[in-house]
Amino acid sequence: MGVGRPARLAVGVVSAGRVGSVVGAAWAAAGHHLVAASGVSRASVRRAAALLPDVPLLPPDEVVTGADLALLAVPDDVLAGVVKGLAAAGCFRPGQIVVHTSGAHGVGVLAPAAEHGVLPLALHPVMTFTGRTEDVARLAAGSVGVTAAEGDEAAWSVGEALVVEMGAEPVRIPEQVRPLYHAALAHGANHLVTLVRDCVDTLERAGIRPAERLVAPLLSAALDNALRHGDRALTGPVARGDVGTVRAHLRELGAVDPDLAETYRRLAGRTARRAAAAGLLADHAVRDVLAILEETP
C-alpha cells in the first residue's frame, strides 16, 4: 500500500467522547503528542482522565488552534455547525490535518476548513465504543473507513497512515457512497443489538434465566456462520418451510408483544426470499411461507 508513517504531530481532540478519547489514546500510543482536548460533561471529564491523562481540557477553538492534527469527534448532526463555527473563528490554518470520525459524512462537510488550506480527512472506525480503555485494543483489531478528496492520492495515503498507526486496517470509502455505507453499518450493528435484546427479553418474559447465557453460543455461531457462509448459513423454520411452526411463532409473539410479532413477520419475509435465492427453499415452500406471513393477525 506504500503507507508511510506521519511525523510526530500535536493532536487536539474535540471532544473527549467515547470515540474521540479512544482514537486520541491510540494516536498517543503511536507516539503523537496530545496537546489538548475538549469536554464539559462529567462523563467526558472522567473519560479524559482515564484515556487521556494529563491532557488539558480547553474550549474547542483553543484545542484546534494549537493542533497540527485536529480530531473532530462530534455527533453527525452537529459536525457541519462545529466546522463552520471553528472556521469563522479563524481556528484553521494551512498545513493542518483536520479529521472527523462521522460515518455518515465524507470530506465535503469539512469544506469550510479546507478553504483555509487544511488537509481534510474522514476516518470512521467500524466498531462500537464504550469509551473505556479496552476500546483501544478493539480499535486496533478492526477497520477504519477512510475518505479523502477525490484524486488526492497524497491525502488518501496520509489518512491510511494515520489508521495504520492506530493498529487498524484502512478501507477506502468513496465520498459518494458514505451515506449508504453508514446506513448499512447502522442496520447491521444497531439492529443486531435490538434483535438480541428482543430475544433475551422474550425469554425472560417466559421465565427463562439466565437468558444471555442460554443464547450466547447460538447467536455467536449464527453470526460467525453468516459471515463465513452468507445466505447458506440460514437455518430455522422459515428456511425449512415449516409453515406450522411459523404460524405458531406469530401467534405466541402476538400474544405478548404485537410489535415484536410484526418485526418477526417482516424479517421472516426477507429470510424466506434469501433462502429461496440461495437454493435452500423451493418455490412452492416460499409461497406457503409468505402466505402465512401475510395472514391478518
Q: What is the pLDDT of residues 41-67, one digit of tens each?
A: 999 999 999 999 999 999 999 999 999
Same domain (yes/no): 217, 162: no
Q: What is the pLDDT of residues 209-265, one digit of tens each?
A: 999 999 999 999 999 999 999 999 999 999 999 999 999 999 999 999 999 999 999
Same domain (yes/no): 34, 163: yes
Mean per-residue pLDDT for 163-186?
Answer: 97
Residue 244 is which amino acid?
Answer: G
Same domain (yes/no): 131, 227: no
Residue 274's pLDDT is 98
Mean per-residue pLDDT for 184-200?
Answer: 97
Question: Is-contact 16 39, C-beta < 8 A?
Answer: yes
Q: Give the C-alpha separation, 276 to 59, whole Å.
A: 56
Question: Is-contact 119 155, C-beta < 8 A?
Answer: yes
Question: Is-contact 16 24, C-beta < 8 A?
Answer: yes
Q: Is 260 part of any domain?
A: yes
Name the domain count of the chain: 2
1: pLDDT strictly greater than 50: no
The strand order across the sheet containing 10-14 reads 33-38, 10-14, 69-72, 97-100, 119-125, 143-147, 169-172
5: pLDDT strictly greater than 60: no
Residue 97's pLDDT is 98
Which CATH number covers residue 266?
1.10.1040
Q: Is 5 part of any domain?
A: no
User: Which residues in 35-66 are b (16+ Cβ under 10 Å) and which e?
Assistant: bbbbbeeeebeebbeebbeebebbebbbbbbb
